[in-house]
Chain A
Amino acid sequence: MNRTIIININSIVFHIEEDAYEALRSYMIDIKRHFGNREGSKEILEDIENRIAEMFNERIESGRKEVINMLDVQEVIGRMGRVSDFEGEEDIEEKEHEYYSAEKPLGSTFETGKKLMRDSEDKILGGVCSGLGHYFGMEARWIRLLVILFVLIGGSGVLVYIVLWMVMPEAATRADRMSMRGEVPNLQNFKKSFDEEGGSFADKLSGAGEHLSRGAKSAGGMLGGCLSLIGKLIAWCILLVTGLSIVGFVIFYVFNMMNLFGLENPIVFPPLEVLGREDAVVALTFGFLALLIPFVAFFLLLVRILFKTEKLNNYASLTMFAVWIVSVVGVIYYCIYANQDFREKSTINVQKDIATEDIYVFTENDIRTLDANDKDAPKSKFYNRFEGQDLRNYMRSDIAINFASLDSLTQPYIQYSYSAKGKTYQLAAERAGNIKYSAIQEGKKILFPSHFILEGSPLSRDQQVRVTVFLPKGAKVVLNNEIRSKTWSVNYGNCLNNYGEGVEPNYTEWIMTDKGLICAVEAPSVKEKEEAEEKKGEGNIESEVRVGEGIVVETTIN
């Protein structure tokens, strides 16, 4: 059973089968193109049409055969002759005239006589890639791969694609499509084209194979074959990497989501802390999609290339593209939004006196360690709760401790500078005010907590604590090693080295002078070094002696 089409040639009506009609139409288009700009072309075409109508008429026998089929068209065309048959019979001038004046879309005819047009029948977006593929004799997949690479590298591919989309005409008719593929639009090729398009999926595959072999031929036979093999290997590698990346993204996303919903785990993405929880959930999702979709698209494309599976339907790919655009916009929005909240900085200074002592011992109070005996004792390394609150959200350790000198006999004090950022100065000041941090003095001992705690909304807004300890000149100071990481403008390492090789005290001794804190222990002399090497075995006793000496030195200065 075949569909028939009714056509009218010179006022005579014919029923013609669909494929036969397509063949005839294509033939007539060729003829028109061939005689196109010639003087009297209209009359010639009329003569030819008339004759075709007459020949059809001869073939129709009322009641027995009323429909023109492919065979009839083929025979008629055989008698009438193809465009290629005409060419030999015309003189050279005319031929040249025909060559240069024939209408050519975009005027771009490659050596093969192919036309650069968009292939609307093999398209993902606009058919630009498949059009380029036909033009350069490559499979569209490889062009798409290149375009996606260019999109991923700096996004230049997007612009190129859009420009080509606008510039390249669409191959709307079958004859267009054949000239796009560089096939001479004659009956054989036409029939092939029709079979390819009308045929089953398997036919399409063989058609793709034909394209590939044609591409390989034009690339130079063997070389093309080699290239496609290497290309396949590379594609496999990229497929693997892309697949692993996708798995990585998903894991990263799921675990970060778990973090946001209170299931702590080690996969933390610090930039998320600048957003509140609800915002972070949305921003994380946007970021995830913005990254994931290009990879998934790339992955699917590679799968298509390697396994020759059917492409995603346009609806699905358009949806994916739309979601991607929304996600990218979302990510940009959150970046700007978060950035705004860092515009203003506010600092609050607080002074607190400390009791005068002849020696001050500064040490760190690790509030996480104290927590260990609490009912919220850490269940794991990453599980930190303090008074029922998640410490990771409430605790910051951006603390720096400075030392400065005062005149002797003045009351020593500690100055705390709390600073934070916000969209407005008020907000920044409010956040700075929410920082809770203060040292505790226990006689000679001054304890600095390891972290400060944020009250209220625990958004990370560059909260900092800068501590300056003002001590009278001549004050003796002992710094415990735990506090080393917080000390600022103090050459802790050098002082530690002064204790000599093989000695590792867990504190250093200092003295306050005009120039700030200086190490109370002088660098060991060469002789002492030698002695130290001799007595290496008795390192412990040695260090004790040295500590004693250190204090003596201090006393002398005092």
Chain B
Amino acid sequence: MIAENTQTQMRKGILDYCILSIISRGEIYASDIISELKEAQLLVVEGTLYPLLNRLKNNGLLSYNWQESTGGPPRKYYQITDMGREVLARLDVTWRELVFAVETSLKGKK
């Protein structure tokens, strides 16, 4: 249970970072985000993504606009906000720090 909690928290932090990174490359549709995350083996099911996107949007890191699609319902395309970019830049720094910290710790273990 303790391990699970830690895993969940680690994964959650990384998920936000990855999603922001993916969206920062340009406007993108939710199911395309999913396929990238699936490839990265971070997320498996789409259902999990919507609450995350919703939270990031509510925090003002993302915005979306509706676009017509061929033969289907209109789609929500997500894009990163300025605030999102700021947060992402800080996360980049943090990530590099984390990688360094983890690598150092692991080296020390060996």
**Residue contact A91 to B73, C-beta cutoff 8 Å:** no
Partner of A92 from B5, B15, B30, B53 at Cβ < 8 Å: B5
State the CA gap A161–B69 with chains docked (Å): 58
A44 and B54 in contact (CB under 8 A), knowing A12-B73, A51-B30, A89-B12? Answer: yes
Interface stretch, picked from A77-85, A247-255, A351-359, A536-544, is: A77-85
Q: Which of A50, A51, A53, A81 gathers most chain B CB within 10 Å?
A: A51
Binary flags per residue of B33-69, CB closer than 8 Å to A gives 1, else 0: 0000000000111111011111100100000000001
A47 and B8 in contact (CB under 8 A), knowing A81-B45, A86-B47, A89-B15? Answer: no
**Residue contact B58 to A80, C-beta cutoff 8 Å:** no
Q: Check if A39 is an interface residue, CB within 8 A of chain B.
A: yes
Residue of A nearest to B7 (CB): A88
Q: Which of A10, A50, A82, A89 gathers most chain B CB within 10 Å?
A: A89
Q: Which of B1-35 contact A (CB under 8 A)?
A: 4-5, 8-9, 11-12, 15, 30-31
Q: Check if A311 is an interface residue, CB within 8 A of chain B.
A: no
**Residue contact A57 to B51, C-beta cutoff 8 Å:** no
When distances are taken between beta carbons in the complex, the residues of chain B under 8 Å from A310 are: none
A89 and B76 in contact (CB under 8 A), knowing A38-B51, A40-B55, A47-B53? Answer: no
**Smallest CB–CB gap between B6 and chain A, Å?**
10
**Residue contact B8 to A89, C-beta cutoff 8 Å:** yes
Partner of A40 from B4, B12, B54, B71 at Cβ < 8 Å: B54
**Residue contact A50 to B54, C-beta cutoff 8 Å:** no
Q: Which of A1-40 contact B (CB under 8 A)?
A: 10-12, 31, 35, 38-40
State the CA gap A35–B52 with chains docked (Å): 12
Binary flags per residue of A516-540, CB closer than 8 Å to B gives 1, else 0: 0000000000000000000000000
**Residue contact B48 to A86, C-beta cutoff 8 Å:** yes
When distances are taken between beta carbons in the complex, the residues of chain B under 8 Å from A111 are: none
**Residue contact A85 to B76, C-beta cutoff 8 Å:** no
Number of A residues, CB within 8 Å of B: 30
A51 and B58 in contact (CB under 8 A), knowing A10-B73, A92-B8? Answer: no
Number of B residues, CB within 8 Å of A: 28
**Residue contact B12 to A91, C-beta cutoff 8 Å:** yes
Q: Is the interface of B mostly helix, strand, loop or mixed?
A: helix
A35 and B51 in contact (CB under 8 A), knowing A91-B12, A92-B8? Answer: yes
A54 and B45 in contact (CB under 8 A), knowing A44-B50, A89-B8? Answer: no
A-B contact pairs, 5 of them (CB 8 A): A31-B47, A48-B47, A57-B73, A86-B51, A91-B12
**Smallest CB–CB gap between A457 and chain B, Å?**
85
A-B pairs with lowest CB-CB distance, top 4: A81-B45, A81-B47, A47-B50, A80-B47
State the CA gap A12–B53 with chains docked (Å): 24
Q: Check if A43 is an interface residue, CB within 8 A of chain B.
A: yes
State the CA gap A91–B6 with chains docked (Å): 10
When distances are taken between beta carbons in the complex, the residues of chain B under 8 Å from A442 are: none
**Smallest CB–CB gap between B104 and chain A, Å?**
27
User: Interface of A with B (CB < 8 Å)?
Assistant: 10-12, 31, 35, 38-40, 43-44, 47-48, 50-51, 53-54, 57-58, 78-82, 85-86, 88-92
When distances are taken between beta carbons in the complex, the residues of chain B under 8 Å from A31 are: 47
Q: A80-B46, A91-B9 are in contact. List 4 more A-B contacts (CB 8 A).
A: A51-B31, A53-B72, A58-B72, A81-B47
**Residue contact A85 to B47, C-beta cutoff 8 Å:** yes
User: Interface of B with A (CB < 8 Å)?
Assistant: 4-5, 8-9, 11-12, 15, 30-31, 43-48, 50-55, 58, 69, 71-73, 75-76
**Residue contact B8 to A91, C-beta cutoff 8 Å:** yes
State the CA gap A31–B48 with chains docked (Å): 11
**Smallest CB–CB gap between A54 and chain B, Å?**
5
A81 and B73 in contact (CB under 8 A), knowing A47-B53, A89-B8? Answer: no
State the CA gap A80–B30 with chains docked (Å): 12
**Smallest CB–CB gap between B91 and chain A, Å?**
17
State the CA gap A86–B11 with chains docked (Å): 13
When distances are taken between beta carbons in the complex, the residues of chain B under 8 Å from A92 are: 5, 8-9
**Smallest CB–CB gap between A27 and chain B, Å?**
10
When distances are taken between beta carbons in the complex, the residues of chain A under 8 Å from B52 are: 89
State the CA gap A127–B46 with chains docked (Å): 39
**Residue contact B55 to A89, C-beta cutoff 8 Å:** no
When distances are taken between beta carbons in the complex, the residues of chain A under 8 Å from B50 are: 44, 47-48, 51
**Residue contact B43 to A47, C-beta cutoff 8 Å:** no
When distances are taken between beta carbons in the complex, the residues of chain A under 8 Å from B72 are: 12, 53-54, 57-58
**Smallest CB–CB gap between A462 and chain B, Å?**
80
A50 and B51 in contact (CB under 8 A), knowing A79-B45, A81-B46, A89-B11? Answer: no
State the CA gap A119–B69 with chains docked (Å): 46
State the CA gap A541–B46 with chains docked (Å): 120
State the CA gap A91–B48 with chains docked (Å): 12
**Residue contact A81 to B8, C-beta cutoff 8 Å:** no
**Smallest CB–CB gap between B19 and chain A, Å?**
12
